């Protein structure tokens, strides 16, 4: 039996809120619900022979995730993002979302997905309390898409449509830019987003533990903005608009709307970082590229109290570095996006 958060937290919320050493308020928890995925993207996971999913018993149960979020909410976390692996391959995800949506203090629940299973699930997810979805889309060419992901493009397109119809809006599309792989598709991806009333964000490839050669495929946003077909569509000389996310935006030339750019490599956005990450096996991480993570799963399974969970959150906040540094020498197996959740 663990003590109820209501009995532990007698003091007002503010007295124990998550503020790090650089005065950043951490109110956003990204929760990876699985390390399994129905795609095989080389930029996201270690090479096939080096990838090993955790035994299911090592993953957090829904009850454990809910308990962690209850404690986090009492510390001021109000915003959640469900991610993975592919979150929709975890059975019963809508039930988890419904239970998280009922937690006092949680006001926003979003998800990052590859959308392959959304056409079946979108309505149930909305009914459960999901507000928005970000969808990964790295190519519009079915053959390239299959080579890149090992999956078909058509279910993803159906998923985008289903998300729109279910009201999971505004839909954001995420494209990881890879030189020689999809950097020639930027203009067509922008046109696709405009036609589907979605906002597209281009993400610089990060050097994580992955099955892709980062040096060979990294391309900066600055390079992308030099392209003629991009300049025909985007006001590249306009000032970059900031947002309360990691993305910076430039207006489109025609119509309304903008295009987003996430530049973890060429232009850090750590100043306003409000994030903590929970891995599917219960690791709490305060910085995406930093290897430090504190283990909540073992603590809970040893009978740890809610106060002990809260202490781990406070400790994690104190460990958050001022700036995230991509340590190219690090060879930590757990440093792939499929493990951390992106």
> Contact residues for ligand SAM (CB under 6 A)?
37, 43-44, 83-84, 86, 112-114, 136, 174, 176, 203, 205-206, 208, 210, 337-338, 341-342
CB of 44 to ligand SAM, least distance (A): 4
Quick one: 149 or 316, whose CB is closer to ligand SAM? 149
CB of 213 to ligand SAM, least distance (A): 12
- Write out the H or E segment, with its range, that includes residue 229: helix 228-231
Quick one: 60 or 310, whose CB is closer to ligand SAM? 60
Alpha-carbon radius of gyration of the chain: 20
CB of 40 to ligand SAM, least distance (A): 11
CA atoms within 13 A on the CB side of 296: 33
CB of 281 to ligand SAM, least distance (A): 15
Burial of 47 (0-12, 13-18, 19+ CB in 10 A): exposed
CA atoms within 13 A on the CB side of 108: 13
User: Which residue is closest to ligand SAM by CB?
Assistant: 342
Could you give the CA distance from residue 233 to residue 244 in angstroms, rounded to a whole number? 24
Quick one: 38 or 61, whose CB is closer to ligand SAM? 38
Could you give the CA distance from residue 136 to residue 141 in angstroms, rounded to a whole number? 14
Quick one: 94 or 114, whose CB is closer to ligand SAM? 114
CB of 324 to ligand SAM, least distance (A): 13
Quick one: 198 or 203, whose CB is closer to ligand SAM? 203
Could you give the CA distance from residue 36 to residue 16 in angstroms, rounded to a whole number? 34
- The two tokens of residue 77 are 């976390």
CB of 49 to ligand SAM, least distance (A): 19
Quick one: 71 or 118, whose CB is closer to ligand SAM? 118
Distance of CA 224 to the CA centre of its chain: 23
């Amino acid at each position: 039996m663990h003590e109820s958060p209501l009995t532990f937290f007698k003091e007002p919320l503010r007295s124990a809120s998550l503020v790090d050493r650089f005065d950043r308020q951490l109110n956003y928890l990204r929760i990876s619900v699985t390390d399994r995925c129905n795609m095989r993207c080389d930029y996201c996971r270690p090479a096939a022979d080096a990838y090993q999913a955790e035994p299911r018993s090592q993953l957090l149960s829904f009850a454990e995730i809910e308990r962690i979020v209850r404690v986090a909410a009492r510390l001021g976390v109000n915003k959640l993002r469900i991610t993975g692996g592919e979150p929709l391959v975890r059975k019963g995800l809508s039930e988890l979302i419904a239970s998280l949506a009922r937690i006092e203090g949680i006001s926003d629940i979003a998800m990052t997905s590859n959308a392959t299973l959304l056409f079946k699930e979108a309505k149930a997810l909305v009914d459960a309390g999901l507000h928005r979805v970000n969808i990964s889309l790295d190519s519009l060419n079915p053959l390239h898409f299959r080579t890149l992901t090992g999956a078909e493009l058509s279910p993803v397109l159906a998923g985008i449509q289903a998300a729109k119809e279910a009201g999971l809006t505004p839909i954001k599309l995420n494209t990881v830019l890879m030189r020689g792989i999809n950097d020639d598709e930027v203009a067509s991806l922008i046109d696709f987003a405009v036609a589907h009333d979605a906002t597209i964000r281009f993400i610089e490839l990060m050097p994580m533990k992955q099955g892709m050669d980062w040096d060979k495929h990294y391309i900066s946003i600055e390079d992308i903005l030099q392209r003629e077909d991009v300049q025909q569509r985007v006001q590249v000389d306009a000032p970059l608009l900031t947002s309360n996310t990691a993305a910076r935006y430039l207006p489109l030339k025609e119509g309304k709307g903008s295009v987003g750019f996430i530049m973890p490599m060429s232009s850090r956005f750590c100043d306003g970082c409000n994030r903590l990450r929970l891995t599917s096996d219960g690791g709490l991480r305060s910085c995406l590229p930093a290897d430090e993570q504190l283990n909540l799963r073992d603590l809970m399974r040893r009978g740890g109290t809610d106060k002990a969970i809260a202490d781990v959150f406070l400790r994690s906040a104190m460990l958050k570095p001022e700036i995230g540094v991509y340590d190219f020498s690090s060879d930590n197996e757990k440093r792939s996006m499929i493990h951390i959740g992106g």
